[in-house]
A and B are shown apart, each in its own frame.
Chain A
Amino acid sequence: MSSPGISQNLSFLLEGFKVTIQLTALCTALSLPLGALVGLARAAPIKLLRVAGTAYVEFLRNIPPLILLFFFFFGLPSTGVTIDDFECGVLALTLYTSAFVAEIVRAGIAAVERGQVDAVRSLGFGYFGALRYVVLPQALAMALPAMGNVIVGIVKNTALVASIGVTDLMHQGEVLESHTFATFSTFTTVALLYLALIVPMSSAVAVLDRRRMRKVR
C-alpha cells in the first residue's frame, strides 16, 4: 500500500480521534441533563409540559440526524446566525440525542410502580419528595444501561459531522484516503479506532444489563 510515513498517517487520524472524543464528551454532558429535563416534563402533572415534551421527543427522534446537521450548518446562516462547524455538530447531536434520553427517563419513571408512589404520598411526601426519594433513584438505576447505549449511539453519530467539515476521525479518514488511495487500510484503521472507543462501553452496558435482568427476576 502506498502509505508513506505510516506514523504520519496514524497521527493524522489520531487528531481526528481526539475531535471525536471531544464531541462525544460534550454531547453526552449536554444531552443527558437536557434529555432528563424533557423526560421529567413528559411525566409532569401539567398537560402543557407533557405535550411540549412529547412534541419535542417525537419530532427529533423521527428525523435523520444528518438533516439537523445540515440545517444548522447550511440553513441557519441565511437568518444571519452563523455557528462554528464544531458547535453545529454539538448542537445537532445534543438535540437529537436528548430526545432519546428523554424517552428513557420517561419510561424509567413510568416503570416505577404506581403503588410505591401512592404509598409514599400517603405517608406525607409531596410530589417532588416522592420524585426525589422514590421514583428517580429507581428510574435512574433502570436507565443506566440504556444510558450506556445512548453514549455508544453518540459516538456512532459523531461520524456524520464529517459531512459538515468537522475534522473528526471519519473526516480525517476520508481526506487521508483521497490522498493515498489506500482505501482499505485507511478505513480499517478508522474502524479499529472506533471499536477501541465503543467496544469497552458496550461491554460495560451488556454487563450492567445482565445484572439488571437478574435483579428484575
Chain B
Amino acid sequence: MDFAARIAALLDPDILRFLGGGLGLTLVVALGTIALSLIGGTALALVRLSPWRPASLAAAAYVETIRSLPSFLVLIYVYFATYRARLDVGTVAAVILGLTVYHSAKIAEVVRGGIQSIDRGQTEAARALGLGFMQAMASVVLPQAYRRMLPPLVSELVLCIKNTSIGSIVGLNELLRRGTIVYQQYFNPIEVLTLIALIYWGLCFSLSRVAARLEGSVVQRAERGALLRAPAAVEL
C-alpha cells in the first residue's frame, strides 16, 4: 500500500469513529481510576499518619511496595486476582481496579506530602481547640492540603492516562489497542501510531499545562525554595 492509500485508510470516518470510541474508553478508565485512587490514596495516607502503629505500618508497607513495582505487573496481578476472587467485573472494571491499586499508592504519597506540608502549628492549634484527629484533618488540614496537591494530582492523572495504554495488553479496547487493530488490518503502523501519539499528546499536554498554571498560582513563587521543598517526585 502506498502512502496515500495508508493515510486514506486511517482517515476513513468509520475508522476514526472506531478510534474515537477507544479514546472515550481511555478517558472513562483514567477518570474512574483517579476518582477511586483519590479516595483510596487519601485513606491510605490518613492511616499512615494516624497514631495507631500497626495500621500505620501496614499502610506504609502497602504503599512502598506498590510504588516500587511496574504498573504493568500490578495490573496483570490484580486482573488475574479478580478472576480468582470470582468477581465477574469485565475487562474495564478489572483494569480500573488494577490501575487504582497502583495509583492509590502513588496518590497516598502525594496526599501524605501535602498534609505534612501544612504547618504543624495548625494541626496542633486545631487539636488544642478540641478537634479530634479526624476532625482536625477534615476541616483544617485536608482542605488546604488538597489545594497544594492539585498540581501533582493532575500530573498523576496524566500518568494514569498514559497507563491506560497498558490495558491494551490484557485486551482492554482502548485507544492504543484499537490503533493496533487498525494497523494490523491496513498495515499502516507509522501513520496510525503517529495519530494516536498526537491524540495522547494533546490530552496530556493540555492537562500538564493546567497543572503548571495551578502550580504558579498555588505555590508561592516568591520563595524559590518552595520548588525545592516539593517532593522530588518526577513521575515517569
Interface of A toward B, CB cutoff 8 Å: 58-59, 61-67, 70-71, 74-76, 78-79, 96-97, 100, 103-104, 107, 111, 113, 142, 145-146, 149-150, 152-160, 162-163, 170, 173-174, 183-184, 187, 190-191, 194-195, 198-199, 202, 205, 209, 212-213, 216
Point out which of A67, A104, A142 has the most chain B C-beta atoms below 10 A from its C-beta. Answer: A67
Interface of B toward A, CB cutoff 8 Å: 64-65, 67-73, 76-77, 80-81, 84, 158, 161-163, 165-166, 168-169, 176, 180, 183, 187, 189-190, 193-194, 196-197, 200-201, 203-205, 208, 224-225, 227-229, 231-236
Q: A75-B190, A145-B232, A195-B68 are in contact. Are A159 and B73 (CB under 8 A)?
A: yes
Tell whether, in the assembled complex, residue A216 and residue B225 are in contact, meaning their CB atoms are under 8 Å apart.
yes
**List of 6 A-B pairs having minimum Cβ-Cβ separation, nearest first:** A153-B236, A159-B70, A62-B204, A64-B165, A64-B162, A75-B189
Tell whether, in the assembled complex, residue A104 and residue B205 are in contact, meaning their CB atoms are under 8 Å apart.
no
Tell whether, in the assembled complex, residue B236 and residue A191 are in contact, meaning their CB atoms are under 8 Å apart.
no
Chain A residues near B225 (CB-CB < 8 A): 216
Tell whether, in the assembled complex, residue B73 and residue A152 are in contact, meaning their CB atoms are under 8 Å apart.
no
Tell whether, in the assembled complex, residue A71 and residue B231 are in contact, meaning their CB atoms are under 8 Å apart.
no
Tell whether, in the assembled complex, residue A59 and residue B72 are in contact, meaning their CB atoms are under 8 Å apart.
no
Tell whether, in the assembled complex, residue B190 and residue A71 are in contact, meaning their CB atoms are under 8 Å apart.
yes
Measured CA separation A59–B198 after assembly (Å): 9
Tell whether, in the assembled complex, residue A156 and residue B201 are in contact, meaning their CB atoms are under 8 Å apart.
no
Chain A residues near B232 (CB-CB < 8 A): 145-146, 149, 205, 209, 212
Nearest B residue to A173, CB-CB: B73
Q: What's the minimum C-beta distance from A116 to chain B, rounded to whole angstroms?
A: 11
Q: A61-B208, A184-B84 are in contact. Are A194 and B229 (CB under 8 A)?
A: no
